[in-house]
Amino acid sequence: MPPVDTQVVPVRSIRSLDLELALDPPVRFGPVVHGRRSIRLLVIEDGEGHRGWGEVSPLPSFSRDTPADADEAMERARSQLSGDGRTIAAWVECSDPDRTAPAWRFGWETALLRLAADRSGSTFRALAGGGAADRIPSSRLLTRFDPDMIRDALDKGWASFKWKAGRGTLDHDLHVLQSMSGLLEGRAKVRVDANRGWDLEDALRFADRAPQDVVDYIEEPLRAISDLSAFVRESPLPLALDETLREEESSALSELADVFVLKPTLTGGVTENRAWADRARETGKRLVISSAFESEAGLLTLLELALALDISEPAGLDTARYLVGGPGGGRLLPDGPVLNPGEVSSSIEKAVLDTVG
């Protein structure tokens, strides 16, 4: 892929707007159930009528940065504003020199790339990598077992589900998965996300007793990442890693995975996420892009990035229906088993620019 961070852009102004969106129903992030989601929209300008935009939304309990970290990074960027152009890499590094604010880096680099695209008559997706496809399948998110929702999704063509396990007893989780298997009748696969909810014994017990033909992969099964090697040796299920990819030991531990799950808001800038995509291709890993409950503006960026990186696996972007409000009032992104950013990119971009003003 061509480099994205060598684009040169001048930035003359940075504007932002913080929004509080309701979560309906409330969603558990780590140990806490949240009824609201805080997001920040950025709009930058070059002084010549060109604009770029992005979203900065650290996720409580999962992001290593906070809104205060984003504030500091934004002020560092503002202190460097001038009519002089600099590379996107230089803009990103001067705002976050210690690389401690991944949500900021992602939203800021997105805005810079969109500004560069506006100046050159290109698109964010083209500058982020291009990609051949114009759409990507979506994986339906199940925060609980809902037979009616599953039947409805199957009727509408969904072929992938992501189910949050590890919140009740192991026997309960196995019972739910067996029930799900009966509903799916071979028409769809289930991604089991345990959110590091099990010890090694329970994780292996689940893997041994789970219906193998239903489970696509098991994501982050273990509380102790030191047990991952033992799990891989004995488990019949493919292993997906998400949080572990952001640990200090990520380089070595990632070799154990069959699937990389990227949450760009938590991973960092477009450049960092492209590096993980390149690594997945070089090592034969499957690659899934996943949301951190961003607004529809952030979800559009994730969708465009997934296509730019030539990701074909069903995307984990089925979170817009949990958010009430957002740029343009929300509900601009279609709710369906296949996502096409070309259908909504102009309307979501207009909503962002109009909302920030």
CATH code of the domain covering residue 303: 3.20.20.120
Q: What is the mean pLDDT of the chain?
A: 94
In a domain, 66, yes or no: yes
Residues forming a β-bridge with 28: 33
Longest dimension (CA), the chain: 62
What 3-state DSSP class applies to 272?
helix
Across the range 270-299, mean pLDDT stands at: 96
With tokens 């343009």, the residue in question is 328
Examine the domain organization and report whether 158 and 210 are in the same domain.
yes
* Per-residue b or e along 25-63, where b marks 16 or more CB atoms closer than 10 Å to that residue's CB: eebebeeeebeebebbbbbbbbeeebbbbbbbbbbeebb
Mark which of 94, 128, 162 sits at the end of a domain. Answer: 128
CATH code of the domain covering residue 75: 3.30.390.10
- Note down the domain range covering 331: 136-356
In a domain, 2, yes or no: no
Q: What is the pTM of this model?
A: 0.95
Instruction: Tell me the pLDDT tens digit for each residue of 105-150.
Output: 999 999 999 999 999 999 999 999 988 899 999 999 998 899 999 9
How far apart CA 259 and CA 155 sit, in angstroms, is 28
Examine the domain organization and report whether 196 and 335 are in the same domain.
yes
Instruction: Tell me the pLDDT tens digit for each residue of 215-236.
Output: 999 999 999 999 999 999 999 9
Examine the domain organization and report whether 224 and 305 are in the same domain.
yes
Amino acid at 177: L
Amino acid at 40: R
CA Rg value for the chain = 20
What 3-state DSSP class applies to 121?
coil
In a domain, 3, yes or no: no
In a domain, 1, yes or no: no
Residue 21 and residue 58 in contact, taking contact as beta carbons nearer than 8 Å: no
- pLDDT value for 1: 45
What 3-state DSSP class applies to 66?
coil
Examine the domain organization and report whether 229 and 294 are in the same domain.
yes
The DSSP letter of residue 109 is H
How far apart CA 277 and CA 281 sit, in angstroms, is 6
- Which one, of 278, 306, 312, lies nearest residue 290 by Cα? 306
> Which of the pair, 313 or 85, is modelled with greater confidence?
313
**Helices marked H in the chain — which ranges?**
67-78, 88-95, 102-120, 124-128, 147-155, 170-184, 200-209, 228-234, 250-253, 264-267, 270-283, 296-308, 345-356
Instruction: Tell me the pLDDT tens digit for each residue of 75-91.
Output: 999 999 977 889 999 99
- pLDDT value for 4: 67
With tokens 């020199």, the residue in question is 97
